[in-house]
Amino acid sequence: MSLDFAASRPLTLGVELELQCLNTRDYDLSTTARDLLAQLAKLPCEGEVKPEITQSMIELNTGVHDRHDTLLANLVALRDVMVRKAELLNVRIAGGGTHPFQMWSDRRIFEGERYEMLWKKFGYLAKQFTVFGLHVHVGCADGDEAVRLVHLMSEHVPAFVALSAASPFYQDQDTRFASSRLTAINAFPLSGTMPFVTTWSEFASYYEDMKRIGVIESMKDFYWDIRPKPEFGTIELRVCDTPLTIEKAAALAAYAQTLVHAMRTDRSLMPTEYAYAAYRHNRFNAARYGLSGEWVDVKGGATCDLGEMVCRTIDGLWKQAEEIGTTVPLQALYRSAAARRSDADVLRAIYAETQSFSDVAHRQADIWETSSATGAARRAPTAR
């Protein structure tokens, strides 16, 4: 049977956010995802909340939106109800791509056939997958357009890595990376980039071949940085750390939407395999150095840092941003890029001030709850 690409409205947006469940004693990860899911069984707003691979994670999914402002409103509503329900369990929720001091060996796999299969197949990597990402879905007209957009968006993967970077700490250590989360994904055998096919029929043939020889069972087995999501009719950008705030998550989604709008408008833009020549170099620099990392433009061989690359790109997108209502979030991202400052810098500043990873996690929860109904200041956590 052929792999069908579902009908979807072009440029629609949806977001998945993986979030940290923290105890309120020392702000280590808790194993309370199941209890929190029970509290959130009936949501008073659009979207859903789901389990993830370990019991210290929870995933928030929005509905489908045409505009940034309604996506942001949906995210705020989901955040606020999640925070209120977590408080009943003496649990707090936080963003960030990694927890600063949790130990992977302490994690417990969430019950479920797929999670148990991943634990059996990947061993300790499954527990090390307790990292937290933002996935952005953008609607496509058809499968051919999805393939084209996956390749064209690959040029911007390092920018999304750098803009979202929020995982400088891992297991009580400063990793010296802006985004250490990506190293956990890199370990999986089907991570990286989609093969260079140019039509949906070519991709479907590749998919069926991989399934026939037993390498994959479904699209979920591809851990690519960007992948088609045929059942949703979208492309899915998967490289972003979960930001510290809802507002930044929505802004990154708006940036992806605006880029796709520009690419759909300019039909002369055609992907080439050579566009991947510096892909790993640029992606590594984004993860290691954030917005100060070097970016190589393979089209002309010029180099600049990623902050400048983002500013130049956004400068070329204002017309499209005005057309779809994304100027405000793009202005916020522009300011971050111009300052070469990401959430990783915020977290390092908190640690420099407090010298406590417990305080870092505590502040991550405070930041996440900002402007929510339960965002009052909490007692200071026990220092580690």
Residue-level pLDDT at 371: 55
Q: What is the second-level CATH architecture of the domain 13-368?
A: 2-Layer Sandwich (3.30)
Residue 1 has pLDDT above 60, yes or no: no
- pLDDT class of 299 with cuts at 50, 70, 90: confident
- pLDDT class of 14 with cuts at 50, 70, 90: very high
Q: What pTM did the predictor assign?
A: 0.95
Average pLDDT over residues 69-88: 96
Helix (H) or strand (E) holding 192: strand 191-192
Q: What percent of the chain has pLDDT over 70?
A: 96
| pLDDT tens track for 212-241 | 999 999 999 999 999 999 999 999 999 999
Average pLDDT over residues 97-113: 96
Residue-level pLDDT at 88: 95
- pLDDT class of 7 with cuts at 50, 70, 90: confident
| pLDDT tens track for 333-384 | 999 999 999 999 999 999 999 999 999 999 999 999 985 444 433 334 343 3
Torsion of the alpha carbons at 284, 287, 288 and 292, rounded to the nearest 10: 100
Residue-level pLDDT at 301: 86
Of 83, 92, 8, the residue nearest 49 (C-alpha): 83
HSE-CB for 358 with a 13 A CA cutoff: 12
**Helices within the chain (DSSP H only):** 33-39, 68-88, 113-122, 124-128, 143-153, 157-164, 181-186, 200-212, 246-265, 279-289, 306-315, 318-324, 327-339, 343-354, 357-368
Residue-level pLDDT at 379: 36
Q: Under a CB-based contact definition with an 8 Å cutoff, are residues 357 and 276 in contact?
A: no
Residue 275 has pLDDT above 60, yes or no: yes
Residue-level pLDDT at 274: 94
Give the span between the Cα atoms of 56 and 321, in whole angstroms.
37
Average pLDDT over residues 104-110: 96
